[in-house]
Amino acid sequence: MDVITVGSRASALAKQQAREWLALVEPRLPGVRIKRRLLTEGGDRDRTTSTLAEVARTAGGSAFSSDQERALVEGDVDVVVHSLKDLPTTLAAGTRLLTTPGPRQDVADVLCGATLDGLPEGARVGTGAPRRIAQLLHLRPDLDVVPIRGNVPTRLRHVGRGGMHAVVLASAGLNRLGMLPPSGRRQVLDPSVFPPSPGQGALGVQVRAGSPVEALLAGTGDVGVDACVRAERALLAELHGGCSVPVGAWGRIGPEGDLVLSAAVTAVDGSRQVTASGSGPVDAPEKLGGALAAELLALGAREILVAVRR
């Protein structure tokens, strides 16, 4: 191929993610010209709807991936670089993910503007994600969690405005943009206690199945990172979850070289949380994700998820 068109959202973070991926693969593509195409998603156009789940329902798919998938299927782009946590577990027909690139960015969430222990009773904390809302209230039921939307700089500007004491953002996005707050004004939330969204910190590189681009880019990912995110996404798929469901999952390679997965399902009001963890071979991530999902359901996650979907 002489030209490959790479699509991504137009936000500063999405453009940085695409640059990060291209820096990994361009040395393997001598003589190939890379074209970039910026695509606008429903979540970017609609800044008035209060939740991304509502935006996704209106758009008929994901708030941050549906239009990019459509452009890929229709041949307007050859590759799409996503934040993997924004990509549904069911992909558009005729597409597939390449092996996940590595290294993966920090999976953790960050409380920006304060620490959990330093927040006063009734403090206002901003986040738009049901998972983060649920996990915050599970740890601090006294908090006033306020839904917010917008890109990373917009969300950071909420701190100190309108009585907002802090906001929660992904460490990966903050690091990629060089916007991590000073050490005294943040707390990295331990992923063993505050498990992240499945796929958080990782890039999802989507192509048309069987295309020349897929063959050209074969072998450009990291099998360890890929196993971790595949286990997380398999668990999410088994729970029939998405951006509106408070499911956290954290996969990593253990000290013995096995695949370790921890997960939590939390009631949106924080009143109840079901957790589980397990390990298995790196070459069977979907089996581990499915088994852990079944364990969560047996422990009571089903009732939590039914209540969320009402």
Active-site positions read: 85-86, 131-132, 149, 155, 243
Q: Which residues are CB-neighbours of 283 under 8 A, at least 6 positions away? A: 227
Give the integer Cα–Cα distance in Å for 207 and 91: 10
The sign of the CA dihedral 134, 140, 141, 143 is: negative
- Residue 95's identity, in one-letter code, is T
Give the integer Cα–Cα distance in Å for 156 and 159: 6
- Residue 64's identity, in one-letter code, is F
Q: Which of 126, 113, 88 is nearest to 240 (CA)?
A: 88
Both tokens assigned to 61? 């798919």
In DSSP terms, 260 is beta-bridged to: 252, 279
Asked if 68 and 38 touch (Cβ cutoff 8 Å), the reply is no
Give the integer Cα–Cα distance in Å for 5 and 207: 11
H or E element that contains 287: helix 285-296
Give the integer Cα–Cα distance in Å for 130 and 146: 11
Please state the separation of Cα 83 from the chain's center in Å: 6
Asked if 159 and 124 touch (Cβ cutoff 8 Å), the reply is no
Both tokens assigned to 103? 């290294």
Kindly report the backbone phi and psi dihedral angles of residue 82, in degrees, each rounded to the nearest multiple of 5, phi listed first.
-110, 160
SS3 breakdown of the chain: % helix, strand, coil, rounded to 5? 35, 25, 40
Q: Is 265 helix (H, G, I), strand (E, B) or coil?
A: strand
